[in-house]
Amino acid sequence: MSELLPEQKKRITPKRPRDYVSWAVAIAIVGGLVTTTVTNENYQWPVVFSYFTTEAILDGLVLTLVLTVASMVLGTLLGLLLAVMRMSHQAPISGLARLYITFFRGTPVLVQLIFWFNIAALYPNITIGIPFTDISTPVDMNALMTPLTAAIVGLTLNQAAYMAEIIRGGFASVNRGQYEAADSLGMSGFTRLRHVIIPQTMPAIIPATGNQVIGMLKETSLVSVLGVAELLNSAQSIYARTYQTIPLLIVASLWYLIMTMALSVPQSMIERRFSRSTRRPAPVAVATKESLL
Amino acid sequence: MKADGTIVARQLCKSFGHHEVLRGIDLTVKAGEISCIIGPSGSGKSTLLRCVNGLETIDRGVLRVNGEDFGYVEKERAYHALRPQRLAEQRSHIGMVFQQFNLFPNMTAEDNVMSGPVLVKKISRKVAKEQAQRLLAQVGLAGCGHKYPAQLSGGQQQRVAIARALAMEPSIMLFDEPTSALDPELVGEVLAVMRDLAHHGMTMLVVTHEMGFARDVADEVLFMDGGVAVERGDAREVLANPREKRTQEFLERVL
């Protein structure tokens, strides 16, 4: 056996007791949870599997996705309008946007949803028409505000307030010098916005919007209180009949989990892409390489 | 539009709130002349420069750039602000180079240079691309067109910024401390490009701390302190034999 010279010796960090203890604790907790879920008959796993892909549940799943997409798209468009209003130099315009954002962020979305569902109590009949013309139709608010309409209106208006703040944050992240450089070249306000400012707001806006989508997917479960047959409501309708409450809640939860996990894959890819192009002077092209000009 | 490359300011005044930044500045830059503005920080020299292309609005005084009133039109009792389109048109004849470069990080160097011609002048991409490559070569960056600003050194970024300003074929170039944000070893390459421009007869107004550049290149030097033009005259004369006491003190500190 040859003696090692000090220069040849490797440097290592010996394992300590806490390195083993942390593993033991984690395994004990997970093991306990798995054992109880498998052995406890009350979970009724066979019931879970039998309902997992029934038509009612899948229909609810589709409606949940429709609600998410519709509210996100409409909410983002309205949020963009609100953000532009909020940044206006005209005090009344920015004041209106601020009022809207304060109100819709300051009250619970569940309350807002129930409120929209019952809006007919405030305005039983409204008239939709084009101003200064004779074209108008009276509308019965009760007929107009179905549970589904109330759900989309409620989720959209609430989402718009949050999106407005995200978009405004994106604009605030762009350096003042960028506006000055565009101005000094003689760019019009629109050209400056379209080709210089908006592309630079995206690294701040897109990842935050991804989070909102995931949040919205779960938030749609709130509209079950209005009787909209989305995923949670579909599960509730079944267990109201069969009293298999827990298994059906598990069915709904598993579907929510699958969808949020599916969404988090593109979400983290987008986040990585944008953090790479902004943080480091990396060789990879900035996301908006498309023909900007 | 004449765009004769002259700047005339008389009794220019500008306040930020209660703070008077410019207190009656007179300035004349003839076509093809190089004028340097020097002075301690906070003396109003950057503000003066920014007024000349409308990044700051002036409160009082006369400002004529390229032979016409800048940013405003003179009426019987007041100067009326121009509409944004007219202001943008006036600005497009004035190139501006910033201390912090302010390149567009979402565009390549070449797209940065092309942005003015394509987006403002509506020149075809093909023609603008050829021009951009010529300008990048002129500032010593041939072959760097595909790079993004984040991949370039400070000195390279500033040279792209100069090329971007030149792409609008301005009659006047303004430089706001163009080398102050650079590492010392990168200052030379930017000054070399500016010297080259000066030799080609561009009207230049330069806010700078580079006394060597001012002495070698400038026709005229304006020394500002506390919002006032303390001393103005032939560049070599002012830098070698300043008449005013404040100019002497400043030059002793920086030289």
The predicted-structure confidence for A119-145, as pLDDT tens digits, reads as follows: 888 888 777 777 777 777 777 877 788
Give the confidence band of A1 by pLDDT, cuts at 50, 70, 90. low
| CA-CA-CA-CA torsion sign (B92, B94, B95, B99) | negative
Give chain B's end-to-end CA distance (angstroms, integer). Answer: 42
Quick one: pLDDT at residue A289? Answer: 38
CB contacts, 8 Å: A199 with chain B:
106
The CATH number of whichever domain residue A219 belongs to comes to 1.10.3720.10
Structure tokens that stand for B125 in this block: 């991409």
Please state, in angstroms and rounded to a whole number, the distance separating the CA atoms of residues B34 and B54.
20
Which DSSP string corresponds to A6-40? GGG--------HHHHHHHHHHHHHHHHHHHHHHH-
Q: Which of residues 107-146 of B touch A (CB under 8 A)?
A: 107, 111, 114-116, 118-120, 125, 128
Higher pLDDT, B249 or A279: B249
Mean pLDDT across the stretch B129-148? 95
- Following CA atoms B78, B79, B81, B86 in sequence, which dihedral angle do they give, to the nearest 10 degrees? 140
Q: Residue A286 pLDDT more than 80?
A: no
Please state, in angstroms and rounded to a whole number, the distance separating the CA atoms of residues B251 and B6.
28
The residue range of the domain holding A70 is 45-123+137-276
Structure tokens that stand for B197 in this block: 């421009």
Quick one: pLDDT at residue A135? Answer: 77
Q: Has residue A144 been placed in a domain? A: yes
Quick one: pLDDT at residue B146? Answer: 94
Mean pLDDT across the stretch B193-211? 93
CB B125 within 8 A of CB B132: no
Q: Has residue A106 been placed in a domain? A: yes
Shortest Cα distance, chain A CAs vs residue B50, angstroms: 10
Q: Scanning every residue of chain B, which has its alpha carbon at the shortest distance from the alpha carbon of A276?
A: B150
Q: Residue A285 pLDDT more than 70?
A: no
How many CB atoms lie under 10 A from the CB of residue A68? 22
Question: How many Cα atoms occupy the beta-carbon half-sphere of A133 within 13 Å?
Answer: 6
Structural domains counted in chain A: 1
Q: Has residue A8 been placed in a domain? A: no
Shortest Cα distance, chain A CAs vs residue B170, angstroms: 10
Tens-place pLDDT, residues B12-56: 999 999 999 999 999 999 999 999 999 998 899 999 999 999 999
| CA-CA-CA-CA torsion sign (A193, A194, A199, A204) | positive
Q: Has residue A33 been placed in a domain? A: no
Q: Has residue A37 been placed in a domain? A: no
CB B142 within 8 A of CB B15: no
Quick one: pLDDT at residue A145? Answer: 83
CB contacts, 8 Å: A184 with chain B:
53, 55, 91, 94-96, 165
DSSP A194: I
Mean pLDDT across the stretch B150-156? 94
ipTM above 0.85, yes or no: yes
Please state, in angstroms and rounded to a whole number, the distance separating the CA atoms of residues B123 and B114.
9
Kindly state the helix (H) or strand (E) to which residue B169 belongs, with its residue range.
Answer: none
Give the confidence band of A15 by pLDDT, cuts at 50, 70, 90. confident
Q: Residue A278 pLDDT more than 70?
A: no
Structure tokens that stand for A175 in this block: 């350096």
Beta partners for B64?
A: B8, B69
Please state, in angstroms and rounded to a whole number, the distance separating the CA atoms of residues B9 and B56.
14
Please state, in angstroms and rounded to a whole number, the distance separating the CA atoms of residues A183 and A105.
35
Q: Per the CB < 8 Å rule, is B105 touching A282?
A: no
Please state, in angstroms and rounded to a whole number, the distance separating the CA atoms of residues B115 and B135.
13
